[in-house]
Amino acid sequence: MCTLDRAALYRELMAQEEAEGSTSRHLSFLDRGLDSSPFESDAPAIATRLARPLTGPDGDGGEAMPTRGVMPKSIGSAALSGLDPTIKSACVVVVRSSRGEPGVAWHGRNATANAQFWSATKIIQAFNLVSLVNEQHPDLEIDQMLLGPAAGAGPTVQVPQLLKEIVSYEKGVPRSNAGAETLGRFLKRQEREAMVEQHTGHDVTFRGAYGDGSLIARPKLVTRDGQVVAVGPAALGEPGANLVSAYDMVRMVAMAAWHPHLTTSRSIAGARWHSLAVVLKAMGHDSARFVDVAFEKLGLMGSVSDVVIATKLGFGISSASKLAQMTYVGALQFTDRRHSPPVTRRACFALRGEHASAVALDARMAVEVTDLVRLLANGSL
């Protein structure tokens, strides 16, 4: 069983933040980057590992994933009651059994409370685009597509490369923001909001932008041989905020990550695995490496294999409270070889925290993710 002294770990991580000169502009764990991760070589295998047949654990069975547009019967609060008060909302869904479709269990803290999830919501724009494209063109793979301006000639960008830039921030925050805004411009604002609600069954506000502009004002999506697949609307509609819940984030990620194991009515509408896999592989390039910290501090580095870490960070300063806010959303899978036979653990999660100090919040998020991984590894979720 994994154990954790949360207070001691927080002190240790805060000391590391100080030693590394961490500031809100570059945080020790949020901005660590994949290139320094011990799991860098695992990133290309994300889609292959997620698609493997379900095996173990063989728990109490849980409940089936809800049908698209229907919320879970219940989201328990007891399992996450130990989260630090800094974490204002959280949601986790875990695979409890693997006979046929996955049997799952839901846990949360204020899981359905809508709030800003900042850049973590960029992945919803990508999932919406996959749904839009594959519903009309099921055989077309988005990794073979280009984005360009709807009218006239202009530079194009490959979809997989843009997704990687959005997640990794390798070309900077403005490029990530503008790229995500471009993905969102294939739908009117009210349509993108409706798509989230139609998938999660939960009311949200999802009409906001990212940063100050779009990479392409009115984009089109084309195949490499020039076939036009989708064109953004001429008018986007009235703008608004992006206010979603931890549950919404987890539900969308789970419907994508577990697509190979779900019936059509429980997965993202119209989506095909060949396209969802492109998004999930891009999520393997997240600069936030909280799960890396968790495996290291729990002493699991030599005990886990076939690791999947597909995540997306979010960070900003609230204009209302002036507090730093941080979100961490994703899919996690690993095989725990401490057991005989080895046990594969699967979870999708979302955490949202806030604190006056961005540095303290970075360390705290690392502690809470570590505790979440501890619970998962111990079979306590």
| Residue pLDDT, tens place only, 316-359 | 999 899 999 999 999 999 999 998 888 999 999 999 999 999 99
Q: Are strands 228-231 and 242-243 parallel, antiparallel or unpaired?
A: unpaired
How many Å apart are CA 224 and CA 220, to the nearest integer? 13
Is residue 334 in a domain? yes
pLDDT digits (tens, 9 = 90+) for 313-326: 999 999 899 999 99
Is residue 1 in a domain? no
Name the domain count of the chain.
1
Q: Report whether 257 contacts 310 (CB < 8 A).
A: yes
Burial of 235 (0-12, 13-18, 19+ CB in 10 A): exposed
CATH of the domain at 275: 3.40.710.10
C-alpha gyration radius of the chain: 20
Tokens 């490369």 sit at which residue? Answer: 161
Q: What is the pLDDT of residue 97?
A: 78
Strand order in the sheet with 87-97: 63-64, 103-109, 87-97, 343-355, 324-336, 304-317
Nearest to 92 by CA among 201, 247, 259, 260: 247
Once rounded to an integer, what is the mean pLDDT over residues 33-54? 95
Q: Report whether 96 contacts 103 (CB < 8 A).
A: yes
Question: 10 Å Cβ neighbour count for 201?
Answer: 17
User: What single DSSP character describes residue 266?
Assistant: G
User: What single DSSP character describes residue 326?
Assistant: E
Tokens of 5: 């002294």
Once rounded to an integer, what is the mean pLDDT over residues 128-152? 93
Domain of 53 in residue numbering reads as 6-377
How many Å apart are CA 79 and CA 63, to the nearest integer? 17
Q: Tell whether the model's pLDDT for residue 100 goes beyond 80.
A: no
Once rounded to an integer, what is the mean pLDDT over residues 175-197? 97
Is residue 280 in a domain? yes
Is residue 333 in a domain? yes
Q: What is the pLDDT of residue 59?
A: 56
H/E run at residue 221: strand 219-223
How many Å apart are CA 171 and CA 212, to the nearest integer? 16
Q: Are strands 103-109 and 157-158 parallel, antiparallel or unpaired?
A: unpaired
Is residue 297 in a domain? yes
Tokens of 164: 């990687």
Reading phi first (left if > 0) and then psi (alpha if -120 to 50, else beta), residue 358 is in: alpha
Tokens of 14: 């805060």
Is residue 344 in a domain? yes
SS3 230: strand
Is residue 110 in a domain? yes
